[in-house]
Amino acid sequence: MTDLRSSLAAQGPVDLTTIATDATPQFDGTKRDARRLLPEIGKRLMASQELLFANGRAGTTDRKVLMLLQGMDTSGKGGTLRHVAGLVDPQGLVITAFKAPTEEERSHDFLWRVERRLPPAGMIGVFDRSHYEDVLIGRVRSLADSDEIERRYDAINDFEQRFVDGGGVLLKCFLHISPDDQKERLAERLDDPTKYWKYNPGDLDERELWDEYQRAYEVVLERCSTPSAPWYVVPAGRKWYRNWAIATMLGETLDELDLKWPEADFDVEEQKRRLATM
Amino acid sequence: MTDLRSSLAAQGPVDLTTIATDATPQFDGTKRDARRLLPEIGKRLMASQELLFANGRAGTTDRKVLMLLQGMDTSGKGGTLRHVAGLVDPQGLVITAFKAPTEEERSHDFLWRVERRLPPAGMIGVFDRSHYEDVLIGRVRSLADSDEIERRYDAINDFEQRFVDGGGVLLKCFLHISPDDQKERLAERLDDPTKYWKYNPGDLDERELWDEYQRAYEVVLERCSTPSAPWYVVPAGRKWYRNWAIATMLGETLDELDLKWPEADFDVEEQKRRLATM
Give the pLDDT confidence score for residue A13 in this predicted structure.
96
Q: How many CA atoms lie within 13 A of A90 on its CB side?
A: 29
Give the pLDDT confidence score for residue B99 in this predicted structure.
94
Q: How many CA atoms lie within 13 A of A263 on its CB side?
A: 2
Percent of chain A topping pLDDT 70: 100
pLDDT over 80 (residue A1): no
B187:A275 CB<8 A:
yes
pLDDT band at residue B205, thresholds of 50, 70 and 90? very high
B201:A271 CB<8 A:
yes
Residue of A67, A123, A197 best to disrupt the B interface, most CBs of B under 10 A: A197
Q: Which residues of B touch A184 (CB under 8 A)?
A: none
pLDDT over 60 (residue A214): yes
Looking at every residue in chain B, the average pLDDT score rounds to 96
Average pLDDT for residues B53-77, to the nearest whole number? Answer: 98
pLDDT over 70 (residue A263): yes
B90:A97 CB<8 A:
no
How far apart are alpha carbons B278 and B270 in whole angstroms?
13
Average pLDDT for residues A214-240, to the nearest whole number? Answer: 98
Give the pLDDT confidence score for residue B155 in this predicted structure.
98
Say whether residue A1 is in contact with chain B using an 8 A CB cutoff: no
pLDDT band at residue B83, thresholds of 50, 70 and 90? very high
Alpha helical stretches, state H, A85-145: 103-106, 112-115, 133-140
Is residue A85 within 8 Å of A41, Cβ to Cβ? no
CA distances from A152 to A113, A126, A170, A213, B108 (A): 15, 21, 18, 17, 39
- Displacement of CA A217 from its chain's centroid (Å): 15
B91:A57 CB<8 A:
no
Give the pLDDT confidence score for residue B1 in this predicted structure.
54
Average pLDDT for residues A9-22, to the nearest whole number? Answer: 96
pLDDT digits (tens, 9 = 90+) for A157-171: 999 999 999 999 999
pLDDT over 60 (residue A111): yes
Looking at every residue in chain A, the average pLDDT score rounds to 96
Give the pLDDT confidence score for residue B2 in this predicted structure.
74
Size of interface A-B (CB pairs under 8 A): 116
Nearest by CB: B190 against A88, A190, A271: A271
Is residue B77 within 8 Å of B175, Cβ to Cβ? yes
How far apart are alpha carbons A115 and A138 in whole angstroms?
19
A187:B272 CB<8 A:
yes
Is residue A156 within 8 Å of A132, Cβ to Cβ? yes
Average pLDDT for residues B92-120, to the nearest whole number? Answer: 96
Q: Which amino acid is present at A185?
A: R
How far apart are alpha carbons A131 and B144 in whole angstroms?
45
How far apart are alpha carbons A150 and A129 in whole angstroms?
20
pLDDT digits (tens, 9 = 90+) for B225-278: 999 999 999 999 999 999 999 999 999 999 999 899 999 999 999 999 999 999
Is residue B163 within 8 Å of B66, Cβ to Cβ? yes
Higher pLDDT: B2 or B212? It is B212
Residue of A117, A188, A196, A266 best to disrupt the B interface, most CBs of B under 10 A: A196
pLDDT digits (tens, 9 = 90+) for A45-66: 999 999 999 999 999 999 999 9
How far apart are alpha carbons A131 and A154 in whole angstroms?
12
B263:A78 CB<8 A:
no
Quick one: closest CA in B to A268, which residue? Answer: B190
Burial of A202 (C-beta count, 10 Å sphere; 0-12/13-18/19+)? exposed
pLDDT over 80 (residue A123): yes
Is residue A173 within 8 Å of A77, Cβ to Cβ? no
Say whether residue B258 is in contact with chain A using an 8 A CB cutoff: no
Percent of chain B topping pLDDT 70: 100
Q: Chain A: nearest CA to B78, how far in angstroms?
A: 8
Quick one: closest CA in B to A97, which residue? Answer: B91
Nearest by CB: B95 against A90, A128, A263: A90
pTM above 0.90, yes or no: yes
Is residue B194 within 8 Å of A260, Cβ to Cβ? no
CA distances from A72 to A21, A75, A175, A191, A208 (A): 13, 5, 8, 20, 12
Say whether residue B58 is in contact with chain A using an 8 A CB cutoff: yes
Average pLDDT for residues A39-43, to the nearest whole number? Answer: 95
